[in-house]
Structure 1
Amino acid sequence: MLIGIDSLEIATPELYLDMTDLAVARGVDPAKFHTGLGQDQMAVAPATTDVVTLAARAAAAVLDRAEEADTASLGLVVVGSESAVDASKAMAVMVHGLLGLPEGVRAFDIREACYAGTAGLMTAVDYVAAHPGRTALVIASDLARYGLGTGGEPTQGAGAVAMLVRQDPRLLVIDPASTARTQDVYDFWRPEGESVPRVDGHLSNRCYTDMFARVLAAHQEASGLGLEDFAALCFHLPYTKMGRKALAGVLPPEEAEARGLGHLHRRYDDSLVYSRRVGNCYTASLYLGVASLLDHCDLRAGDRLGLFSYGSGAVGELVTVTVVEGFGARRDPGATVSALDARRRLGVEEYESVLTESLGPVGEDASATLLPDEGPYALTGVVDGVRRYRRP
């Protein structure tokens, strides 16, 4: 049975900050952000945009593209995120309610830093394998926020990616024989009750690159697939230079050209187009890269892609997927670019005010907050701990 991703859609906030503006305000050479980190823009979420609203928008776009039979056979909704809005109630249940999905659906969240979306995706593959004819909705949604003037400030961002998983997918077939590794390490964590994470940046970078090398070697041993068997590789992208470092660690550019594998470095650039404009969206960032690769690369049916997922703490997994004939009809790159172009550019002072407000508690009426979200599925307030949302 062939199981995989039938459609994949993106949602981002309607605000962004240009990285040159941030660099000038912080007294930093803009090249440090544009070249050193590989970031050009940063998505900024106002107080009325949260993980649930982004997840609902991405999921609604996927369901709009789905056939009636796929929607009717939906049996599982999973949200992967490290930006939970409630310590008990699942955001997947909130999204289920906002979208008006059938009652006979299993809905839950998965949390393991930036790996959670992949955990949800592989869970969905297992679900469809065990329930032929059923479909699953997987959503990766996160807000990456570190605070003003912090070392992580230029690696902030926000976004969501939703995927419909089913038999005989029309976008990507997933090989269930993936390879995962786990290591207990404190490179990035956020204790309960704290609004921003704690990060050991140097350790986190080292854990990421080491994990990729180990997972790649283990996957090759288990599957017999080497780098020469991949048309392209996609990476979890806390910032776009990170994946490049990991790739260069196992395949330096000079060696790649000598071995006829230069396409892996060239196509890596194709996977960065959206992330350079959105920034870090934690567990969604890998799949934002997948969307960018599909939309900008000269892929062909039958091409094999390697997807490296990493979640601090730490879990890494290499998932192999194969491009399906006619995959281009399942994506609309023009619509994605138009949505990114339509966002409002913030000045640095506006950004600072919006970020500061979004890190604080939301009152009962969020309409008076700075630049409230005018799009579908917005947070309207929190009453006695109950989150209220606007639907289309």
Structure 2
Amino acid sequence: MKPVNGVGIYGYGAYVPRYYIENEAIGSIWGRITYPIKNKSFPSFDEDTITIAYEAARIAIESSNAPKDRIHAVFIGTESKPYAVKPSGTVLVDALGLSNKILSADYEFACKAGTEAMETVFGLVASKMIDMGIAIGADTAQGRPGDELEYTAAAGGAAYIISSVEDGVLAVLEASYSYVSDTPDFWRRSGEKYPRHLYRFTGEPAYFNHIINSVNGLFEEYGYKPSDFKYAVFHQPNAKFPQRVASKLGFTKDQIAPGLLSPVIGNTYSGSSLVGFAATLDVAKPGDKILLASFGSGAGSDAFAFEVTELIEERRAKPPIRDIISRMVPRDYATYVVYRGKIWR
């Protein structure tokens, strides 16, 4: 997909909660000695997807000095809504001080719900139905005690303010490509507390197949190749998968290094690729091209090609996401299970 009218990213922000737990601390409870990552973030007892989305959006607005009266859409992609029936976006509209003449909805497509929200806002802005909109990917992911997901399911999110190029953007959307199929590698039925997954089935037929098809589709349709991009960001369910898919597609370790955050914060689900994208924008220079490829179980992938502009220098997120990560503090397993609601009095 290529927009007829130029659109791009006006501002951005990312956030992860203050607390983290080491994989070693989880493994010591369940008798495991090898781990998929080093640490993962988790929310405090008073944090949820809405508060994470708020922090990311606040950073995006303040860092770019975006005009609030021109923001006419707020879409949140998440699979961990605080309410089963009540939108999260409406809370943000009031909390951020936005106009009530606005579109708002919660999106769901497992871990690629955030990029689905981005596609919607890009389309609304490109068609000139709205001036600006905010797309957010945020989650407080769930993992059953002792399950493989408990080692990686984390919390965090990122927000992107989208506008026309005429308004001045820090990164121009050049093109995108989406690929989906009915591949049930991971799911959570209504009323269930924790998701289920098919272990290795989440790899080749799900994650790798869909990302490779979306990225190759983008390359074939618009003439790109890996060397055209300074950086690349992939969905990060663990540390190995994004590095392996990058290698399969012809990208180097240096191209993915700035956005590879899963080893230290875990898999932030709908926020995963978008938080990595924010970390990459934090170091990008004018003229750099960035590939972004999300993945959502069920399954699908969205691939985007962006080019960074001169405005990146004045609109970088403040604080950058790695500064936020550097302030995180460790907590033990007992604190973690209480804050995540895994045990009750």
Fold similarity call, TM over 0.5:
yes
Q: Helix, strand or coil: the match of 2:232?
A: strand
Aligned to 2:24: 20
Q: 1:170 to 1:243 in 2, by over 3 A?
A: same
Deviation at 1:228, TM superposition (A): 2.5
Coordinate RMSD, CA, aligned: 2.2
Q: CA deviation at 1:98?
A: 2.4
Show the counterpart of 2:255: 267
Moved more, 99-108 or 186-195: 99-108
Q: Which moved more, 1:140-149 or 1:91-100?
A: 91-100
Q: TM-score, normalised by structure 1?
A: 0.80
Instruction: Pick one of 265, 271, 295 that aligns with 1:284.
Output: 271
The percent of aligned pairs where both chains have the same amino acid is 24
CA distance in 1, matches of 2:325, 2:176: 33
1:27 is displaced (CA, Å) by 3.2
Give the 3-state SS of the residue equivalent to 2:304 in structure 1.
Answer: strand
Q: Which residue of 1 aligns with 2:171?
A: 172
Partner residue of 2:303 out of 297, 318, 324: 318
Per-residue deviation, 1:333 = 6.8
- Between stretches 98-107 and 330-339, larger displacement belongs to 330-339
On the 8 A contact 1:147/1:356 being kept in 2, the answer is no
> 1:221 maps to which residue?
220
Q: Secondary structure at the match of 1:302?
A: coil
1:194 is aligned, of 184, 187, 192, to 192
1:8 — aligned with what?
12
1:248-259 superposed matches below 5 A: 248-251=247-250
Q: Contact (CA 8 Å) 1:190, 1:198: kept in 2 or not?
A: yes
Partners of 1:209 and 1:249 within 8 A in 2:
no
Counterpart residue identity of residue 172, structure 2: V
- 2:288 is the counterpart of 1:303: yes
What's 2:97 paired with? 100
Question: 1: distance between equivalents of 2:76 and 2:113?
Answer: 8
Q: Which moved more, 1:117-126 or 1:144-153?
A: 144-153
1:43 and 2:41 matched: yes
TM-score (norm 2): 0.90
1:110 equivalent in structure 2? 107
Runs of 5+ in structure 1 lacking a partner? 252-260, 361-368, 370-392
Q: Is the 8 A contact 1:133 1:167 kept in 2?
A: no
Return the letter of the residue paired with 2:274.
Y
- Bigger CA drift: 336-345 or 184-193? 336-345
Which protein is bigger by CA-based radius of gyration?
1
Shift of 1:332: 4.6
User: Tell me, what secondary structure is at the counterpart of 2:216?
Assistant: helix
The equivalent of 2:280 in structure 1 is 293
Q: Contact conserved, 1:295 with 1:333, CA < 8 A, in 2?
A: no
How far the C-alpha of 1:215 sits from its partner, in A, is 2.0
Q: CA offset at residue 318 of structure 1?
A: 1.2
Aligned pairs, number? 338
